[in-house]
Every structure is written in structure tokens, then in C-alpha cells.
Structure 1
Amino acid sequence: MNTLEKEIYALECSHLKPDVRVSPEKLGDVLDDEFFEFGSSGGAFKRVDYNGDHPLNPDPMEINFFTMHELGPAAVLTTYQVHNHKTGRLTNRSSVWKKRSNGWKLFFHQGTISNGDVFE
């Protein structure tokens, strides 16, 4: 992995950590002000939905098959699969990260329940 890939990978891992997923403050450090997502639950969410009492699932999760594609000098797309160690569920994930004046921020995220298929 190059330096940018390592940085983005670390950011992806950070928002899956249990202590970050249940903390609006810590999650706020990762999410862009314009963040939106389509969750693996089927729901659609915006940044404001994570400001209060909407914590994410704190189950231990692991990223596999991580890839990053540069979309331009200030945007990247990541794709990967998450293994939820508590439930055994696999989800395919994609994220768009934008470089802002205060660092890389998660602009868009999608989670889709997986049958195990991934692009390698």
C-alpha cells in the first residue's frame, strides 16, 4: 500500500471501532458535514442522524479485500468486505472520501449484505 492507501485504510478501520461507533463526537471527527449513506440495514442516513442517539452497532468487525481508487486529487473510492465477528455476517462496503481543509472525511458510504462474493 502507498502512503495515501495506508491513511485511508486507517480511517476506514477507525469508524468500525466499537468506541467510535457509539460516540457522536468521535464519529464526527471522521464524517464529512455532507455525509450520507445507504446502510446494510436498508436505511438511508445523513450526517445529522449520527449527532445524538443513533449509535452504530458496536460489534467487533474486520476489513478484508480492501482496495482504493483515486477519483481525483481530493477524492477516493474504497471498496472492501466487512466480517462482523459477533454475527458472522459479511457485508460489501464502498466509501467516498473527500480531502477537506481539516483532512480526509467520509462523504458517502454504502453497505450491502454479501453472499461472500468480492472483487479482488
Structure 2
Amino acid sequence: MLILEQIQLLEEKLLQPSIRHSKSELDSLLADEFFEFTSSGTSFNKTEIINALFEEKDVHYALKNFKITFLSDNVVLANYLAIKNNEIYSLRSSIWKLTNDNWNLIFHQGTVCSSEL
């Protein structure tokens, strides 16, 4: 499987309500040093985002215009549009790092937008 496909599948997985409500799944996908800047301007570390997502109401997202850029052999930047209720909701950027044959999310940022790139 291509790295692009692997990372896209992981991003799609993180958008599923069942994963967002599973502390063990999130713990395995997020790196210990994970942090996030949310579309509302809040920042979260790994523990804080796991707790916040566990309390989140079910939201269904889709991806659009997914792409990755290699930052090094073991690190990629993913960019995409998050679609919520069939409308563009936010621009998303994630940094994934390959460690011991597993991709882990180390950084994520969402920015609310009203139009396509």
C-alpha cells in the first residue's frame, strides 16, 4: 500500500465517531508528544484531545482533496478539506511520523473555511 493511501486511511479512521470515542484507539494513533490547534483557536495535548473527543457528539466527516508532502523519510504532512454535512467545514493539516513500523499523528490543525482552496 502506498504511503499516501496509508495516511489517508488513518485520517479517515480518526474522523469516525467510533474511533473518536475510543480512548484506546486514539491512544494508539496519537503520538505521546501530540498537540493540536483547533479551528476554534484552542490547543490540546494528547490527553486533553482524547478526553475532549470522548465527550464529542457524533459528527460525520468526509475528506476531499487529500494530499501528502514528505518532510523526511519518516515524516509526512497531510492536507485536506474536511466536509461536514456535505459542505466544506475546515482546512486540515496533520503531521504523521513513522516509528517502529507504525504511523502516529504528532500534530494537527484545523482552520474553519467557507470556500475551497
Larger relative helix fraction: 2
RMSD of the alignment, in Å?
Answer: 1.7
CA distance in 2, matches of 1:20, 1:79: 20
Q: Which segment is superposed worse, 42-51 or 53-62?
A: 53-62
Q: CA contact under 8 A between 1:65 and 1:80: conserved in structure 2? A: yes
Report the secondary structure of 2:18's partner residue.
helix
- What is the CA-CA distance between 1:94 and the residue it aligns to? 0.2
Equivalent residues of 1:75, 1:97 under 8 A apart: yes
Paired with 2:71 and 2:58, the residues of 1 have a C-alpha distance of: 30
* In 1, Cα distance between equivalents of 2:81 and 2:31: 22
Q: Which runs of 5 or more structure 2 residues have no equivalent in the other structure?
A: none
2:52 equivalent in structure 1: 54
Q: TM-score, normalised by structure 1?
A: 0.87
Matched length: 115
Aligned-partner Cα distance in 2 for 1:13–1:106:
13
Percent identity for Structure 1 against Structure 2: 31
- The secondary structure found in structure 2 opposite 1:54 is helix
1:42-94 per-position Cα deviation (integer Å, ceiling 9, x unaligned): 2100012134x4224531100001010011111000100001128x4510000
Secondary structure, aligned partner of 2:70: strand
